[in-house]
Amino acid sequence: MSESGVSEQETAPRRRGGIFGAIGPAFITAALVFGPGSITTASSMGAQFGYQLLWVPVIATVLMLCFVDLGVRIGLSTDRGILATVARRCSGVVAVLVGIGSFLVVSSFQAGNSAGTGAAGSLLFGGGARWWAGGFTLIGLGVVWLPKLYPVLEKIMIAVIVIMLVAMAVTVVVSQPDMGAAVRGLVPSLPDGSTTLVVGLAATAFSVVGALYQIQLVREKGWTAADYAVARRDAVLGTLILGGLSAVIMIAAAAVLQPAGVQVSSPAALAQILQPIGAWAAVLFAIGLWAAAFSSLIGNSSIGGTMLASLAKKEAGGLGSVPVKLGISLVIVLGGIVAIVFGGIPLQLIITAQAVTIVAVPLIGVVMVYLARHRDRGGLRIGVAQLVLSIVGLCFLLGLAVTYLVNFLS
């Protein structure tokens, strides 16, 4: 396979044996994107505005599915890594900007993932959250240095997704939501004071950096253009799960936190309010919180480490190479140190991360659309309908950036 293009014949479907042969990359993306920040934001939206903003994860999921598919198409039709593919068609300068931007976006929030594992550990077993954050950081490092990281990562992430689905599904059932109000919440509206939360959840559920990483993940999986049908099914299922998790958290928060007048300051708030329903409900939610945090701790850092190695032109060998593992380890350690020292993400780091996201994410989106429409994709080149939806997605990203800037400056 080469960058010269993929023929229609090469995209003919072929069989892959077993469940792990048919799923993987998009499940990894869903698990790494849905972290403690997603839980906190979705809980805050439900606690403050009830079911009114349920339309946000729905729209974000549609756009995320579009861009994950772009990443799949690019990854299946290139024989190079992410930044090398970008450099070939968009120049080395653009590739460096994409690499640095992606690294800063995921790394800036890494401390939150470490802190999330600590909070979950404290809820489940007692003790100080910082100690648990340090312990899970060390476990994450151990996972990274296992041989053949991608198959291990894939199985961990699939297991995590199952845990989160069970935990969150049970949480929403025991919270006894008003389903009529939930359905009405699918009609877009923007209550006063909701803009910041809408931007936050939309940016989380519609993770362009996560979609970009699909280029690497489908190559790690060993899929080729002939596996596009399987890869697309994986993308659809994984992305729907990602959006569904945000939606059920918001519904549960609307049913439990809003009536109690609880203001959400951490992802653990929903677990605490579930205690009257039964200690088992709080424990189950805490397990889901740990799964979300630990998967993001490893997954987020894998993006950052891959980008670091790619910027140094040492990405050969992918997740199994020593340079990539060193990069991943560096991101994990830095996040763990910040979580232990500060007990979470310092405000200045949050502001920096948001600023970087505003600049980097629209650029990454434009690059992905350009590459997916390029003739190098051959039979996997996107059609007009998906191009239009992709442009809508880009406008959405720019709208989020403008909205954030207006709010920040006002």
Residue 4 lies in a domain: no
| 248 belongs to a structural domain | yes
Residue type, 17: G
> Which residues in the chain land under pLDDT 70?
1-22, 267-279, 344-355, 408
- 138 occurs within a structural domain: yes
Q: At what angle do helices 347-373 and 92-108 cross, to 10 degrees?
A: 140
At residue 344's C-alpha, the angle toward residues 340 and 346, to 5°, is: 110
Mind spelling out the 3-state secondary structure of the chain?
CCCCCCCCHHHCCCCCCCHHHHCCHHHHHHHHHCCHHHHHHHHHHHHHHCCCCCHHHHHHHHHHHHHHHHHHHHHHCCCCCHHHHHHHHHCHHHHHHHHHHHHHHHHHCHHHHHHHHHHHHHHHHCCCHHHHHHHHHHHHHHHHCCCCHHHHHHHHHHHHHHHHHHHHHHHHHHCCCCHHHHHHCCCCCCCCCCHHHHHHHHHHHCCHHHHHCHHHHHHHHCCCHHHHHHHHHHHHHHHHHHHHHHHHHHHHHHHHHHHHCCCCCCCCHHHHHCCCCCHHHHHHHHHHHHHHHHHHHHHHHHHHHHHHHHHCCCCCCHHHCHHHHHHHHHHHHHHHHHHHHHCCCCHHHHHHHHHHHHHHHHHHHHHHHHHHHCHHHHHHCCCHHHHHHHHHHHHHHHHHHHHHHHHHHC
CA 38 to chain CA centroid, nearest Å: 9
359 is in which domain, residue-wise? 9-409
- Structure-token match 């800036």, residue found: 108
In a domain, 365, yes or no: yes
pLDDT at 171: 78
| CB count in 10 Å sphere of residue 273 | 23
Residue 2, in any domain of the structure: no
Domain count, the chain: 1
Global confidence as pTM: 0.89
**CATH code for position 391:** 1.20.1740.10
3 lies in some domain: no
Give the Å distances, CA to CA, from 353 to 105, 111, 346: 6, 11, 11
Residue at 1 is within a domain: no
Separation in Å, CA 88 to CA 80, 165, 224, 352, 389: 9, 40, 20, 30, 25
Token code pair at residue 362: 């629209």
